[in-house]
């Protein structure tokens, strides 16, 4: 279990990276906010940046939970 835990952690990390990239490219990039005149582009960018930062925080939280789970598994053995 010792050697495979780091591979599991890296596997989950890469899954999150690929899923996050897919979300950003396929969904978030197509968001378009209209109706604010000259500020539409700025508001559009702020909303997209906020969503991206929220995803980064969520990914960090998930990776922290996976790391803690792996360490607890190793302590039990």
pLDDT higher than 60, residue 1: no
- What would the pLDDT profile of 23-74 be if each residue is shown by its tens digit? 888 988 888 888 888 888 899 999 999 998 998 999 999 989 988 888 888 7
What is the rounded distance in angstroms from the CA atom of residue 67 to the CA atom of residue 46? 31
Secondary structure (DSSP) of 35-69: SSGGGHHHHHHHHHHHHHHHHHHHHHHHHHHHHHH
**Secondary structure letter of residue 29 according to DSSP:** G
pLDDT at 58: 92
* Residue 60, phi then psi, degrees to nearest 5: -65, -40
pLDDT at 37: 86
């Amino acid at each position: 279990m010792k050697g495979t835990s780091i591979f599991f952690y890296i596997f989950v990390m890469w899954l999150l990276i690929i899923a996050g990239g897919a979300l950003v490219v396929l969904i978030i990039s197509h968001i378009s906010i209209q109706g604010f005149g000259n500020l539409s582009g700025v508001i559009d960018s702020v909303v997209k940046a906020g969503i991206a930062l929220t995803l980064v925080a969520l990914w960090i939280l998930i990776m922290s939970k996976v790391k803690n789970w792996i360490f607890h598994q190793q302590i039990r053995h």
